[in-house]
Amino acid sequence: MADARTRNRYFDDLASTPDLAWMGQNTNHVPAHPAVTEAMIRSIEAGEFNAYAPPMGFEALRSAIVDDLGTPGAEALVTEGGVNALAMICKARARPGTTLVTTDPTWKWPCMFAEQAGAEVIQIPIYDPATAYKLTPEALKSAVDERCAIIYIVDPNNPLGIRYERREIEAFAEIARSVGALLIHDCTYRDFADGHTPVLQVAPEGTVVSLSFSKWLGLAGLRIGGLVAEPKLIDEFSAASTSVLGASVIAQRAAMAGLAVKPEWMTQVRKIDRVNKDMIVKAAEAAGMPVPVNPSHGNFLIIETASTGVAPEAIVEAARREGVMIRQGRYHTARFGDRFIKVSTSVPTEWAERFCEGLPRYVETARGLNDVPALF
């Protein structure tokens, strides 16, 4: 497909740009903890990659994930990235005649998986200061009925950076239960949040948490994540798995090493992330561009572009020409995508400084760009 090739070349060009500041995909570019690097090197030197991993993940990693989430009684399934946990769940539950209900903005790929399986996707708009950019239980209640197979909540929300309170999660779980829907709580960014309640802690049945090692631990290119749920659901979802030969052995060793040093590592990462956020908020505001969700509970910020009079895509392209990757709002949402750009903050401080110094110039360059190539 031509589109798939164009998309591939777009990312290939980025990957081969020297000194690119990756600030568009919420990845983590803080230099790895030595224990994580060492675990990978040990695994490579031992030739562990010659064999397949256990199909559900190393048992030690499965239990470390459950311990870390604080959900005794639940079980973890290791997947090739959080995205494949979500694909597996959609494959198991979405079918013609059902709905997947989520927010707008949301993370778009599970919507695609549900549609591929024949389900209808219903998105509830939340880009609204009146509700503090959050889904309300009332709005969720009026969007679900007995057709609803899946409620998909991204918390902290990517791209907005809001996070839900325990009572809100309880209310969402109760609504899911009332219509017999599965609640997926996508907790990819939970380690960047101040206070977070995984749904399994308040409603351990009929709910599932999806997780990633890409963001907090910085393993995006290694493709490792997982899901956590009651054993009955783990049985159901693993029956729908296409990753029957397991996830990367090296990635799993890195994940285990990361969990073992998590408090120390995240203290350092969050400190860097906070400094970058403060700097970027100041630069955006100085350029007359508001940051509507501050503090953000994710490792990213959205910056509104309306005051500039130029399209987010043009600003993204102008930044790309200077070796800085940021994201256009339309990646996340057709309805609100013309309002903002998104910038990742778990990066070396020099990258954040580069972005801040460049921002007014990107806007100026953007004014002169008539032909913005396709962005993804």
Q: Which residues bind ligand PLP (CB under 6 A)?
A: 26, 81-83, 107, 154, 158, 186, 188, 212, 214, 220, 225
Asked if 359 and 352 touch (Cβ cutoff 8 Å), the reply is no
Smaller CB distance to ligand PLP: residue 57 or 81?
Answer: 81
Smaller CB distance to ligand PLP: residue 82 or 312?
Answer: 82
* Preceding amide of 156 cis, omega within 30: yes
Smaller CB distance to ligand PLP: residue 353 or 376?
Answer: 376
**Token pair for 1:** 């497909």
Compute the least distance from the CB of residue 194 to ligand PLP, in Å.
Answer: 18
Compute the least distance from the CB of residue 103 to ligand PLP, in Å.
Answer: 11
- Please state whether 195 falls in left (phi above 0), alpha (psi between -120 and 50) or beta: left
Asked if 210 and 69 touch (Cβ cutoff 8 Å), the reply is no
Extract the runs of DSSP E, i.e. beta strands, from the chain. Answer: 21-22, 75-79, 99-104, 120-125, 148-154, 182-186, 207-212, 225-229, 300-304, 324-325, 327-328, 340-344
CA distance 255 to 253: 5
Smaller CB distance to ligand PLP: residue 158 or 345?
Answer: 158
- Please state whether 49 falls in left (phi above 0), alpha (psi between -120 and 50) or beta: alpha
CA distance 359 to 159: 19
Compute the least distance from the CB of residue 159 to ligand PLP, in Å.
Answer: 8
Smaller CB distance to ligand PLP: residue 84 or 201?
Answer: 84
Smaller CB distance to ligand PLP: residue 251 or 314?
Answer: 251
Q: Compute how many other C-beta atoms are within 10 angstroms of the C-beta atom of residue 294.
A: 15
CA distance 257 to 42: 11
Residue nearest to ligand PLP (CB): 81
Compute the least distance from the CB of residue 236 to ligand PLP, in Å.
Answer: 20
Compute the least distance from the CB of residue 331 to ligand PLP, in Å.
Answer: 10
Compute the least distance from the CB of residue 211 to ligand PLP, in Å.
Answer: 8
